Structure 1
Amino acid sequence: MKDVYLLSGFLGSGKTSLLSHLIEQMKEKGLKPAVIMNELGKLPFDSRSVDEDVPIKEMLEGCICCTGSEKMEAQLQMLLEGEVFDVLLIETTGAAHPVEAMDAVLSPYFANRLNMKGIITVADSKRWLERDKMTPQTRMLFMEQIKHAHLILANKIDLLSEDEVATVTMQIQGFNRHAPIIQTSNAKLPLNMITGLEATYHGQEVKQAAIGKQLTLSSRLHTFSEPVEKEVFEQWVKELPDTVYRMKGYVPLVGYKNPFLFQYAYGMVQWLPEYIKMEPQIVIIGDQVEAITVIGNTPND
């Protein structure tokens, strides 16, 4: 399986600098990285910072979420089928919500080919101290990106005093108690700080890493052993805790030949018929999803 790291963070936080540093270190270790970059504009300015020998796919004028997830799956498919690489680095646009970005990567199509290692959020330390000057919507996104991170870079500390650095670190740690915080300038992060991340739950055989074992936001792949009643399944969905943010995949229903495409987000459910037999699997994304029992089946995760 290919390890995947998702680089999150607000506009101008230093994600592209982090990407460049990680690529350089991976190549020094003999690893071949591939990159997917998501940019809001029409021109791929950030992608020019990536070396020519690194496979790269770009998503312009969009977001790795919602309507952009299908484009993302197509880019992933092209990378997996057409390129040789060891590690995938995905740089999201600064306007992307981390849960939505993670959701786009965890398609059932790639469940056995990609291993989501974690979300690395780059936080602009100076912007954190001035977050009250943001609009409410912007501030909420900024905070959400930090809240759901598996590893946080308190970046640009060279612009702060020692007291301000201590304040930023303490406040961010209080906001997200599960993610380690690394103080950085120019987003320089040692590669060995990310290798222990583990955001995907693979069942009882998962190897708990020192950094990753207490993370909240995670994903879980569930394989159905038999068809389920649609009404019973929907009732189970209604009773799920608020900590389940997204689900998608193919659910085998009693009375139908092929599993249905199923999607769930923010309490809304969508069913679409499939005309070919897909693998009966769903991906569940949320906080501590390993504790959830899927209705009508003995989990085979």
Structure 2
Amino acid sequence: MKDVYLFSGFLGSGKTSMLVNVLRQLKEEGLKPAVIMNELGEIPFDSQAVDEDVPLKEILDGCICCTGGEKTEAQIQTLLYEADFDVLIIETTGAAHPVEALDAVYSPLFADQLNIKGIVTVADSRRWLGRDQLSPQARSLFLEQIRHAHLILANKSDLLTEEEKARVVFELQGLNPNAFILQTTHGRVPLASLKSLQATKGDKEIQPAQIGRHLHLNSRVIEFNRSFTQEEFEEWVRELPATVYRMKGFVPIEGMQYPMLFQYAYGLVQWIPEYMKMPPKIVMIGENVQSVPVIGEENRL
């Protein structure tokens, strides 16, 4: 039997950081991990965090819990046939309802080969405290991801005061009294906490999030044909509507030989220098992002 974990969490919560940390711990214990990663965009940015020696399957530009269910089943079948692994980690998009996503991996074709350990939801603690600023649909999904978790990571706790930390734990426990709650930074979770999980199919009532029709969450690839200053680019970012949840990609910056890795999540911006030529484009994820004005659009970027 191969253990399976489903990593859930709203966009920008820290799922990929948790994934990298857990993969390292599994290897240190001599276990062989495999990963299925679901991304809304057409470019697999998050998959670059997975080492080449880890079997990886990607589901791009889709949703693991909707039409992507069949794709997920096919990817699991392929891994079981082709790869030698002990533990399977499925990282969903921030738009995935965790229980629907978990149901996507309960297939009679390989049920006797997989041991579903549970749903691990990463919650951005600061975003939790400001959840009333989200749209009703996004807030509903955020709450569902927490309500159905077997283990909750109250992540980015280093950004909070002690009083705020206590408030987050108290409120999360009120929403999901059955889950164990860990306060974390950078998604660091002890492997022992994962091993202690054991999910039971159908243990909670599923409330479909109807993501495709009601949340209006989608992605957009934006390509650039000129460079910007960091100040110019960040000024554009500050003017974005609150419905833009995350951006990730490579931005050409004046004075830099190669485009810089740029990440944005709920108002937080991160720049990381790159040392090789990367495609000058970013993926924007949010609600109705196709209507968001793009920097330099007057120059046809």
For 2:103 and 2:198, the matched residues in 1 are separated by: 16
Partner of 1:24: 24
SS for the counterpart of 1:200 is: coil
Look up the equivalent residue of 1:194 and give its one-letter code.
L
Identity of aligned residues (%): 64
Shift of 1:245: 6.6
For 1:188 and 1:175, the matched residues in 2 are separated by: 23
Matched, 1:62 2:62: yes
Partner of 1:144: 144
Matched, 1:184 2:179: no
Contact 1:178 1:216 (8 Å CA) reproduced: no
Shift of 1:108: 1.2
Contact 1:120 1:149 (8 Å CA) reproduced: yes
Per-residue CA distance 1:27-72 (angstroms, 9 max, x = gap): 0000000000000000000000001100000000001112111111
Partner of 2:222: none
For 1:66 and 1:6, the matched residues in 2 are separated by: 16
For 2:10 and 2:42, the matched residues in 1 are separated by: 19
Shift of 1:244: 6.4
Matched, 1:124 2:102: no
For 1:84 and 1:170, the matched residues in 2 are separated by: 41
Equivalent pairs, count: 208
SS for the counterpart of 1:89 is: strand
Per-residue CA distance 1:121-150 (angstroms, 9 max, x = gap): 000000000000000000000000000000
Contact 2:42 2:60 (8 Å CA) reproduced: yes
Contact 1:115 1:200 (8 Å CA) reproduced: no
For 2:170 and 2:137, the matched residues in 1 are separated by: 24
Contact 1:37 1:90 (8 Å CA) reproduced: yes
Partner of 2:280: none
Look up the equivalent residue of 2:168 and give its one-letter code.
V
For 1:67 and 1:39, the matched residues in 2 are separated by: 13
Partner of 1:83: 83
Look up the equivalent residue of 1:103 and give its one-letter code.
D
SS for the counterpart of 1:108 is: coil
Partner of 2:271: none
Shift of 1:105: 0.6
Partner of 1:154: 154
Partner of 2:93: 93
Distance 1:184 1:81, change over 3 A: same
Matches within 5 A, 1:98-247: 98-200=98-200, 216-217=203-204, 243=205
For 1:80 and 1:8, the matched residues in 2 are separated by: 22
Contact 2:8 2:145 (8 Å CA) reproduced: yes
Q: Mean alpha-carbon deviation: is it higher for 140-149 or for 96-105? A: 96-105
Q: Which runs of 5+ in 1 are unaligned?
A: 202-214, 218-242, 247-301
For 1:134 and 1:171, the matched residues in 2 are separated by: 17
Partner of 1:240: none
Per-residue CA distance 1:213-243 (angstroms, 9 max, x = gap): xx944xxxxxxxxxxxxxxxxxxxxxxxxx3
Contact 1:13 1:122 (8 Å CA) reproduced: yes
Look up the equivalent residue of 2:185 and give its one-letter code.
S
- TM-score scaled by structure 2? 0.67
Look up the equivalent residue of 1:87 and give its one-letter code.
V
For 1:133 and 1:46, the matched residues in 2 are separated by: 26
Shift of 1:100: 1.1
For 2:19 and 2:109, the matched residues in 1 are separated by: 26
Look up the equivalent residue of 1:7 and give its one-letter code.
F
Calculate the aligned-residue CA RMSD, in Å: 1.4
Matches within 5 A, 1:38-57: 38-57=38-57
Shift of 1:200: 3.1
Shift of 1:196: 1.1
SS for the counterpart of 1:106 is: coil
Per-residue CA distance 1:243-298 (angstroms, 9 max, x = gap): 3679xxxxxxxxxxxxxxxxxxxxxxxxxxxxxxxxxxxxxxxxxxxxxxxxxxxx
Look up the equivalent residue of 1:88 and give its one-letter code.
L
Contact 1:41 1:60 (8 Å CA) reproduced: yes
Contact 2:22 2:191 (8 Å CA) reproduced: yes
Look up the equivalent residue of 1:161 and give its one-letter code.
T
Q: Mean alpha-carbon deviation: is it higher for 130-139 or for 191-200? A: 191-200
Q: Which runs of 5+ in 2 are unaligned?
A: 209-301
